[in-house]
Structure 1
Amino acid sequence: MGTRPHEVGTRSPAGRPGAVPGFAVVLNGVAAVAYATFFLEHLLSPDLDVINGYVSELSAVDQPYDALYSGGDFVTGLLIIIVAATCLLTLRRRPWATAGWTLLMLFGVCAIGDAVFPLDCAPSLESRCALLERSENVSFSHEFHSVTSSAVVMFGVASLFTLSIAAHRYGWWPFLARWGWVLAALESAAGFATLLAMLLGQWLGIIQRIQIGILCLGLLVIGWALYTDWRAARSDRRRPGAEPGTGHEREEATP
């Protein structure tokens, strides 16, 4: 009698969630880089107060290079939506993983929201803008931007936590299992620090930049997890006797 072969149509070997197409890995990396456009402020927007000024002020409508900063948010959001949707369609469906990719997709939606609803002006640079903001004489876009910005952080933290739980529970993505929850915890701590900074009126700019930097690292960690599975699946397909498209090696029947 021969040994029983693997079932046809199984998406990945036991212990792995499957692999996304290579383009999703690339798009995830581009999204992480695009979300870090604020690093260019020292060259392009040196007048903004890095210590106390909002990162969102870089993309205020009346600021130079606002299209660049808004464009970075928009590109990040669009690409992350594509990546998360691809993961939902191609990887194994497990509750925590499905929740994580869905939350990551919502992060992308809110990143686009940041780009679509920019601030009217930069309160830390212009006293007139600060007065307009305090008297609520700003546009809906200016007011709603705080909603999308808060939601970006919330969904970013939630997606990192849930994907880390999925990695631990299902034995997937060791790198994400090790570092995802750490970054999520740091992001949560930075969120509380942001609230404290808002009450004190100091250090808000620095803390916000740390927050966004952590989210960029989180996207890179997720991207590395996707890359390692893509590389493993590609290696499986190259082995002699591997079944095309499954990542499994076909077992030889023994007489």
Structure 2
Amino acid sequence: MMVVPALFPYRLIRGLMVAAAVLYCSLLLELAAGFPLGLRYSMLSELGALDQPTSVYARAMDLATGILLVLAAVLARSAARMHRDVAGLLISTALFGVGTVGTVFLPLDCAPSVSQACLESEDSGRAGLALFLHATLSTVAGVGCVAMAVFVLLILRRVGWGRLRGRTAAVMAGAALVSQIWLTVAIGIQELNGDDAHPPGILQRASVVLVCLMLATVMPGLRETLTR
């Protein structure tokens, strides 16, 4: 059994992670707004585009998500001494949060899936520095998310998969990791080949759901395995 630091605020951190999971699940906003974007051809980041009525709500959810993730990582910093993979998990969680917060302040100007002019502006490169920075920060958040999933699996592999909660966390982390890699490959192929026959909208939404489930299950799963 590994020794969890004394006075470790488990319940508070668990609550922060669950809240982050709910807020990051922007499909809830999409549902509440009546699916204003086409599910197949749009990306969820378009909900925060400045020309969309959901912009303020989507960016507020992302801002809160990022802050909660960074706060959870800071509050759990005493656990970093347990092992380097735990430290890696905390760093990647903070990276995920920082990238998510960054995209809030550099939103898309418009939603390309509903505006031909916006799509043409992106394709021609006229969208400028803001789009590049938004994409960069989204990549930072994505790298943090993938790294989180990897470190969760490394920790559980090292200490044991545990019972139901530990195994659930492992399954969610593995599924989130696979979906994120699959999504990255699909977007890359689409960008390189200009293939519109297989739009990644549905895949992205499935991936976001899996990431939300990973965020919600990681603390219970790690607690079960680290303290059993």
TM (normalized to structure 1)? Answer: 0.76
How much has 1:15 moved relative to structure 2? Answer: 2.9
Of 14-23 and 144-153, deviating more is: 14-23
Count residues with an aligned counterpart. Answer: 219
Q: Distance in 2 between matches of 1:84 and 1:99?
A: 10
Match of 1:163 in 2: 152
Secondary structure at 1:123's aligned position in 2? coil
Match of 1:83 in 2: 72
Of 102-111 and 209-218, deviating more is: 209-218
Q: Does residue 209 of structure 2 align to residue 220 of structure 1?
A: no
How much has 1:134 moved relative to structure 2? Answer: 2.2
Structure number with higher helix proportion = 2
Match of 2:176 in 1: 183
Unaligned runs of 5+ in 1: 1-13, 234-255
Unaligned runs of 5+ in 2: none
Q: Does residue 51 of structure 2 align to residue 62 of structure 1?
A: yes
How much has 1:209 moved relative to structure 2? Answer: 1.2
Of 106-115 and 220-229, deviating more is: 220-229
TM (normalized to structure 2)? Answer: 0.84
Are 1:15 and 1:171, in contact at CA under 8 Å, matched by a contact in 2?
A: no
Q: Distance in 2 between matches of 1:144 and 1:159?
A: 22
- The letter of the residue matching 2:182 is A
Distance 1:67 1:223, change over 3 A: farther
1:121 paired residue among 80, 86, 110: 110
Match of 1:206 in 2: 202
Distance 1:45 1:56, change over 3 A: farther
Match of 1:194 in 2: 187
Q: Distance in 1 between matches of 2:88 and 2:3?
A: 18
Q: How does 1:124-163 map to 2 (within 5 A)?
A: 124-163=113-152
Are 1:77 and 1:111, in contact at CA under 8 Å, matched by a contact in 2?
A: yes
Q: Distance in 1 between matches of 2:137 and 2:72?
A: 20
Match of 1:104 in 2: 93
Distance 1:187 1:153, change over 3 A: same
How much has 1:17 moved relative to structure 2? Answer: 3.3
Are 1:36 and 1:212, in contact at CA under 8 Å, matched by a contact in 2?
A: yes
Q: Distance in 1 between matches of 2:220 and 2:79?
A: 17
Match of 2:19 in 1: 30
For the pair shown, which has the larger CA radius of gyration, 1 or 2? Answer: 1
Are 1:38 and 1:69, in contact at CA under 8 Å, matched by a contact in 2?
A: no
